[in-house]
Structure 1
């Protein structure tokens, strides 16, 4: 089970590498460059990680790129709310992760130091086995990172939520695709051979080395991130498919959600703040205003299960029947 937690955390690192590397390839990772390209000419005083996505007579939309587990990103949210006074706020969360908004940070950090099997069982209650295990693994990963860094997850989203409650009439929107759909689409995009390669790589490289703030800061170094990405995809090309599902598809979903947020906030003069991970900024900028419902619907469905999962299931069922038959045959006939 320890190996499983390590693998989950490795997936978290891979996902961060993918989204950051996408920006590096477009030469847009610099927060200062984002500020200069989109904030010039605006009366709004925005932090350097913010992008003025739209500013006309139809709407004002600010896109904030955050670094997860960063205290500065939390403060950036408050700074933008102060100058924008939004009537709509969108966060990069789905219903399965909305509990982060009500998280008691102090209690979470205390619980993270004593995350045991009992807490894992509680996390799995009311869910099927697979969803429950994924939820428990995610909580365990968050607990490990929080314990090592002393920072609770989702701080920027939590700050956006609390700021929203202070503004009369302001609405909160969940912009992300359900996490179960993303995970299912990622792994079902792989052949059985590719899936084997991915699982072998994760199990081999998923060592539980302690994290620290300096280690996370290295992901701001474009050369380091590019090297990590090249190494991963060179060893296992199948990761390109996984990154496509985790990054590109979700960019489209987030862009469409932001369009809907602007459309449904207020009839006139919507002022919207979108709080998303830094790695999604360029994708949202690319797709914003261009996505239609028919573009998004296919991305919300899990494709049919690959043939090999059907074969494996039938094989396990036949094996079970054979073992039961063998047991009773030996029981009655010696």
Structure 2
């Protein structure tokens, strides 16, 4: 097989099949390109996207539409999140959308391009598309429950101050995050 991107790990399974794991970052154009190249070369039977059912609507959205939705976040939408997801999870969801909007402005890339590319290319080659992530609501709830109340309050304070919305990050920083050592270090800090 011709050379796969450096972000691809090939796992040999006991039954003789292979799994091609593509390391990606949500705000990376290069990640989408890596996914595209891998699917075109491998032509897999199945493509698993690290995406839950609640977020599957992004698969058919254009980057411009995602950027506009994030920019259009208002208190009415925040209240709707809180009503459907619970107050804390809905508020957390809204804060992450606001942070994403800031990152989109700085980087010029909408999150999830690697998912959309995986869906599009997988469909082209006839792969079965599988969603392989737990509910985003469950993820938010578990993350918050893992923190003591004082750390939850600190987190919300940090998220609601302008510091959290004005992250100093570059496309190069995003690419570095695909490095295993960087991910391990960040996970340890969290």
Normalising by the residue count of structure 1, what TM-score does the alignment of the two structures yield? 0.47
Which residue in the other structure is 2:142 paired with?
185
Number of residue pairs matched by the alignment: 184
- Of 53, 65, 75, 2:11 maps to 53
Which whole-Å deviations, capped at 9, do the CAs of 1:35-62 have from their partners, x for residues lacking one? xxxxxxxx46321110111267642211
What's 1:200 paired with?
A: 154
Q: Which residue of 2 aligns with 1:117?
A: 74
Q: In the superposition, relative to structure 1, how do residues 62 and 94 fare at CA in structure 2: closer, same or farther (>3 Å)?
A: same
Relative to structure 1, is the Cα distance of residues 128 and 46 closer, same or farther in structure 2, using a 3 angstrom cutoff? Answer: closer
Aligned 8 A contact 1:149 1:211 in 2: no
Cα–Cα, structure 1 residues 161 and 58, in superposed 2: closer, same or farther, change >3 Å? same
Give the Cα separation in 2 of the matches to 1:78 and 1:121: 34
Residue 59 of structure 2 corresponds to 101
Which structure has the bigger radius of gyration?
1
Equivalent of 2:131 in 174, 180, 184: 174
RMSD between aligned residues = 3.3
> Is the CA contact 1:90–1:174 (under 8 Å) kept in the aligned structure 2?
yes
- Structure 1 CA distance, aligned partners of 2:83 and 2:75? 15
Q: In 1, Cα distance between the equivalents of 2:62 and 2:79?
A: 17
CA distance in 2: counterparts of 1:209 and 1:156, whole angstroms = 24
Partner of 2:50: 92
Instruction: Tell me, yes or no, if the aligned pair for 2:35 and 2:117 is still in contact at 8 Å.
Output: yes
1:11 corresponding residue in structure 2: none
Structure 1 gap ranges (5+): 1-42, 233-238, 240-334
Could you tell me how far apart the structure 2 residues matched to 1:126 and 1:197 are? 24
- Cα displacement (A) at 1:111: 4.5
TM norm structure 2: 0.77
Is this contact kept in 1: 2:8–2:21, CA < 8 A?
yes
Instruction: Name stretches of at least 5 consecutive residues in structure 2 with no aligned partner.
Output: none
SS in structure 1 opposite 2:84? coil
Contact 2:36 2:117 (C-alpha < 8 Å) held by counterparts = yes
2:106 match: secondary structure: helix
Q: Helix, strand or coil for the counterpart of 2:134? A: coil
In the alignment, is the contact (CA less than 8 A) between 1:54 and 1:60 conserved in 2? Answer: yes
